[in-house]
Amino acid sequence: MQLARSPLAPVGLPEVPPVAGVRGVALAAELRYRDRDDLLLLHFPQGAAVAGVLTRSKTPGAPVEWCKAQLPGGRASALLVNAGNANAFTGRRGRVSVERAATAVATALDCSVEEVFLASTGVIGEPLPDDRMTAAVGSAAGQLEEVDWAKAAAAITTTDTFPKAAYRRCELDGRSVTLCGIAKGSGMIAPDMATMLAFVTTDAGLPAAVLQPLLARAVDRSFNCITVDGDTSTSDTVLLFATAAAGHCDAGGPDDPRLDGFAAALEALLIDLAQLVVRDGEGAQKFVTVTLRGAADDDAARRIGLAIANSPLVKTAIAGEDANWGRIVMAVGKSGEAADRDRLAIAVGGVTIARDGERVADYDEAPVAAHMKGREIEIEVDIGLGQGSATVWTCDLTHGYIDINADYRS
């Protein structure tokens, strides 16, 4: 099924620079798709420290379980990603497929199998044709070169309508370091990692023990703040690889002030990728930012924001360009978080609609209605109870979402 490019897509990919210590190749293994790349192999010849955040789904795919088992080792030599088949709910066959793929990569690159990381995305419940994948690994190993991030990002897509990549540069311990990331995701997007794959490489020299809390914090403020449809995938995976090609930093821990620039760059990069996922939401026509203030705490603010962002009634009103702010009130009330009707304030497009629990006396819907016709929708809610704040991102819910998912396997 060929999907039209999302109207929310950026004009094009940025020119993502190479990362020292990373080689890669994208190629066609024909695991599900024809006439396109569907397999990505990254190699870290000198090794890399690795950190990861994985789906909290209780029915995870076999590659997720594999990564979970390898992450405590903290070292990586390779990453293999396939698109079109999630290798999830495939039982023992799925576990054998993962082992075969990891062994093939380890053999081809002469590295430890425990330092091979895997990720899969696509249809759930279909056996993975691992013979094609393992056969392609040998060919891929012979084609490794400086990574073409545009090709890499395209190779891992499924229902995505555009590839997703971003980069940042920052100073770390007096040295310039680069962070490059790619992601895929379009549907089955909800917090608990969002439904997607994302891979970040950097030439920074930081150990896994420092990378892991930095990544977890950045994921919490990015991928855990987006939703398309409220559904959490079996395959969600974010991995961060640090090659140390720019030199080692002996930071004492994740809160070392010397890491402030790197932490900020990582978070900004992941927010870029997370927002690109929302902009490619299945059938999306509008990108929605929901800003919460005045909640009991930041976690409560995010949960209220996500209640609004996940509401089919709110999302369809946005799709219909209907300034139906009563649906926002409904979503706040159903969130389960502390709220006081008589302290609530709501604004859309910068126009205050309600304050102190009721519509403002001089409310004019015309500018709000005009705002609703745009591509970028801004919703602000002040709970009026505390200092908690959060921002979450979502998209509207259109007939396109139904069409895409009704035809996904056909």
CA 221 to chain centre: 11
Task: Determine whether 72 is exposed, middle or buried from the number of CB atoms within 10 Å of its CB (0-12, 13-18, 19+).
Answer: exposed
- What is the token pair recorded at 86? 């999630």
Measured between alpha carbons, how far apart are the two ends of the chain, in Å? 8
Distance CA 310, CA 395 (A): 9
Nearest one of 66, 41, 23 to 138, comparing CA atoms = 41
From 55, 158, 161, 195, active-site residue: 195
Q: Give helix 326-334 / helix 312-319 axis angle, nearest 10°.
A: 160
Q: Note the Cα 373 to chain centre separation in Å.
A: 27
How far apart are the C-alpha atoms of 345 and 342, rounded to whole Å?
A: 9
176: which 2 tokens? 């310039």
289 labelled catalytic: no
State which amino acid sits at residue 263: A
Q: How many CB atoms lie within 10 A of CB 205?
A: 22
Fill in the amino acid letter for 197: L
What is the enclosing helix (H) or strand (E) of 339? none
Location of structure tokens 């998209």 = 395
Query: For residue 64, what is the enclosing H or E element?
Result: helix 62-70
CA distances from 245 to 46, 210, 269 (A): 9, 17, 20
Q: Which residues are catalytic?
A: 195
